[in-house]
Amino acid sequence: MRTAETTGRNKDGGVAGLILAGGRGRRMGGLDKPFAPLAGRPLIAHVVARATPQVARLAINASGEASRFAGLGLPLVADSTGGGRIEAFAGPLAGVLSGLDWAAARGGGVEWLAVFPADTPFLPVDFVERAFAALRREGAELACAASGGRAHPVVALWPLALRERLRRLVVEEGERRAARLLETFRTARVPYAAEPIDPFFNVNTPDDLAAAERLLAKG
């Protein structure tokens, strides 16, 4: 079975990846959102396929029953503060923090963590490469995606060096809003065109899933 230790290599080296799949999916009409069927595959499988070539190893951050992710062959990272677990469904920032801790514990020269939501089936396959270019260009601390004049802070490239600052934000301040990152850290935007398809289109409802199905059918 393919595992996170044997999936792709990023040419810049030292990049791990994390797929955020910890949301409740309340608007999906009872569907388990990561496994909602899309073009014959689970929704999350589309994200795994697009994230894998960009990183040296890949994991999933999720709440709920862990066994449902077993078929993906990737490790599961639970939310934690570094000193103990925190509540389930604690939000994307808790997931990012847990991913940073996981990547730091892996060692092996990993210095960066690329974060991707589990509900973005059109995720760009060059995000990590372009994020590094934006970081160098702007001298920023981290990089996040942007399209249609809007930032997407949950699609981001993080240096592991920021994890203690993020821990203070999440644990001590109790922050849950991903948008707060843009106010707290020097963040470079990685711009993408939103037409003809926004690459950060995310599936939140059955109607969104149907729209994604139609877009994929058009190629």
- Say if residues 17 and 58 touch (Cβ distance below 8 Å): yes
- Collect all residues with Cβ–Cβ distance below 8 Å to 47 and sequence separation of at least 6: 19, 116, 117, 118, 119, 120, 121, 123
Give residue limits of the domains in the chain.
15-217
Q: Average per-residue pLDDT in the chain?
A: 87
pLDDT value of residue 78: 84
Average pLDDT over residues 114-124: 97
What is the pLDDT, as a whole number, of residue 16? Answer: 97
Distance, CA of 13 to CA of 32 (rounded, Å): 34
Q: What is the pLDDT of residue 98?
A: 93
User: Hey, which residues does 152 pair with through a beta bridge?
Assistant: 145
Mean pLDDT across 80-84: 54
The pLDDT score that the predictor gives to residue 8 is 40
Select, from the ranges 28-32, 87-91, 212-216, the one with the highest average predicted confidence (pLDDT).
Answer: 212-216
- CATH H-level superfamily of 15-217: Spore Coat Polysaccharide Biosynthesis Protein SpsA; Chain A (3.90.550.10)
Show the beta-strand stretches assigned E in 65-170: 76-77, 112-117, 142-147, 150-159
Q: What pLDDT score was predicted for residue 117?
A: 96
The residue among 86 and 99 whose pLDDT is bigger is 99
The pTM (predicted TM-score) of the whole model is 0.88
